[in-house]
Structure 1
Amino acid sequence: MALYFFRISHGSYSSASDQPSEFDSRDLAFAEMTRVCGDFVAGIARNLQQGAEWQMELLDEAKKPVFKIRLVAESIS
């Protein structure tokens, strides 16, 4: 089993979990990340300002990024 941490960033705010989560595989850790992210996205999207970015990262036990999910509100023109 491997240990993973979650980190959420929004603007200048960034916070990683203090307590690791243990998963049997990277795929299971990613599945949990997408589940948790899915729970957050609706509320975050309602309050996202133009030009803002929200992201969630899955970090390995050395706290190095493994996966990242980003929600970006960008102007195309």
Structure 2
Amino acid sequence: MPIFFFSVRNGEHGDICNAGAEFPDRNAAWKEMTGVCSDMVAEVSRKLGENTEWQMELLDESRKPVFRIRLVAESLDQAGALAAAPIKQVAGSKR
């Protein structure tokens, strides 16, 4: 059976679990990854800083990424300011 490894990154800090896990195929590995991720996401999101990213990857035997789940926290202040800016009226148009 193929061996997969989990990698978790929080911002700039990451870690690969050196204990590989055997799964019959990619679908079984994906199912396990989503289950583990769902168990972690509530705690992770409570600690996630503004403009940071948390991600979990499933790596194959050669430690190349097969799947990735990302949780991104973005500040939208600038975008919000642009959305609230008044719209310039084009000459001859009515509003």
What is the TM-score normalised by the length of structure 2? Answer: 0.78
**Superposition CA RMSD, Å:** 0.7
Gaps of 5+ in 1: none
Name the structure, 1 or 2, with higher relative contact order (CA <8 Å, separation 6+).
1
Query: Alignment length, in residue pairs?
Result: 77
What is the TM-score normalised by the length of structure 1? Answer: 0.96
Percentage identity across paired residues of the two chains: 49
The higher radius of gyration belongs to 2
C-alpha separation in 1, matches of 2:11 and 2:69: 15
C-alpha separation in 1, matches of 2:30 and 2:45: 21
Deviating beyond 4 angstroms after TM superposition, the runs of 4 or more aligned structure 1 residues are none
Structure with bigger strand share is: 1
Alignment of 1:57-68 (within 5 A): 57-68=57-68
Which residue identity does 1:21 align to in structure 2? A
- Counterpart of 1:28 in structure 2 is 28
